[in-house]
Amino acid sequence: MRSPSYVAASAAFSAALAAATVLTGCGAAAADDSSFTIKDQRITESSGLAASKRHPGVYWTHNDQDEGPYLYAVDAETGETVARVAMRGVGEPRDMEAVSVGPDGDVYVGDIGDNLGGGWDHVWIYRFPEPEKLSPELTVRATQYTVRYEDGARDAEALMVHPATGRVYIASKNEDGGGLYEGPATLTASGTNVFRRIAEVPWVTDGAFSPDGGELLLRSYFSARAYEWKDGRPGADRRVRAPIQRQAESVAYTPDGSALMFGTEGVQSTVQRVELEGRQDKTENGETGENGGRNENGEKGEKGKGGGAAEGGASSSDGDRNLTYGLVAAAGLGALVLWLRGMRRKG
């Protein structure tokens, strides 16, 4: 759920996005066959995104408003909703912000948003097995977990389940940076699950683990970074090309790990595919596939002929364009932050 100040401040970013479009002569990169538009008019604030394990080509998403305990399964080929799932056995959600699918095929939903900035001393995680069959209206029995942070309540929008260990992580959100929190090895429904801070992270609106578990991707309103994941901790990081979106809210890896799917809020919002460059990812059968050296359309280029990646995971042309986007977006962000701080002083 968005606070009134956030709604007003988003207008500043909209102006910055419009300026970026004028300066560059184009908007976001052209969508390819794997990008799609969410057509369901009920999905007005798509806040989380995760690829289904049981149903190829389907992505889970949800609203973050006070709609109720519902998730939507969306067909990436058509953009149509193939199922709306109602969770039973849980309380009334407050601010659902994230969704992730675990190695066991269970769907995890993070009711972890807190626009009061620490007003709630606990938040919740919901969990249910992916339905074997999808139909327009489904009801599932979900398990509810109570979560507290070791160092106090806070706002968060990113929940990630590691694809190998099944451990749950949450990234908090703060204008001065946030923290990455690790949950217990096994969640319990009969008590409180204490999440402990293990690393510092920037402002985060969503995150996802790569399918092989070797990388953690965190996105913000204006950028995305991938962190090497080793021994349960984030390591060296690199910049990842991300589209400029009006309200950048969600991200997911494709099931084969070759690309990222970036989502945004709004009616008929677009989920945009961006090819990953310069990284090898292990597929489910253990084979390693080369995902590097692709152009914006996902086509591989020859070495030395524009197919290679520049330092930071983007080609030189991408870097020039992203620099222009970044400068304008940074100006918009600066204005937005100053505005928010002014409002805070007035309050």
* Each residue's pLDDT tens digit, 266-313: 999 999 999 998 665 554 444 444 444 333 333 333 333 333 333 333
* Residue ranges per structural domain of the chain: 32-309
Q: What is the pLDDT of residue 33?
A: 38
Rounded Cα gap, residues 181 and 149, in angstroms: 8
User: Using CB atoms within 10 A of its CB, is residue 40 exposed (0-12), middle (13-18) or buried (19+)?
Assistant: middle
Among 13-22, 69-78, 112-121, 308-317, name the one with the lowest average pLDDT: 308-317
Q: How many helices (H) and strands (E) does the chain have?
A: 2, 23
| Residue 281 φ then ψ, to 5° | -130, 135
Do the Cβ atoms of 27 and 35 come closer than 8 Å? no
The candidate with the shortest Cα–Cα distance to 260, out of 101, 27, 49, is: 49
Give me the architecture of the 32-309 domain, per CATH: 6 Propeller (2.120)
What value does the mean pLDDT of the chain take?
79
pLDDT mean over 245-273: 93
79, pLDDT greater than 50: yes
Q: The whole model's pTM is what?
A: 0.76
Residue 128, C-beta contacts closer than 8 angstroms, at least 6 positions apart: 85, 87, 106, 107, 140, 141, 142, 143
Find the DSSP H helices in 41-121.
none
Do the Cβ atoms of 127 and 108 come closer than 8 Å? yes
* Each residue's pLDDT tens digit, 94-143: 999 999 999 999 999 999 999 887 789 999 999 999 999 999 999 999 99
pLDDT mean over 39-54: 96
67-97 burial, b for 16+ CB within 10 Å, e for fewer? eebbbbbbbbeebebbbbbebeebeebbbbb
Q: Which helix (H) or strand (E) holds 192?
A: strand 192-201
Which comes out higher in pLDDT, residue 84 or 299? 84
Rounded Cα gap, residues 42 and 191, in angstroms: 34
Q: How many CB atoms lie within 10 A of CB 58?
A: 21
Gyration radius of the chain over CA positions: 19
Do the Cβ atoms of 141 and 106 come closer than 8 Å? no
Q: What is the pLDDT of residue 34?
A: 80
* Each residue's pLDDT tens digit, 137-168: 999 999 999 999 999 999 999 999 999 999 99
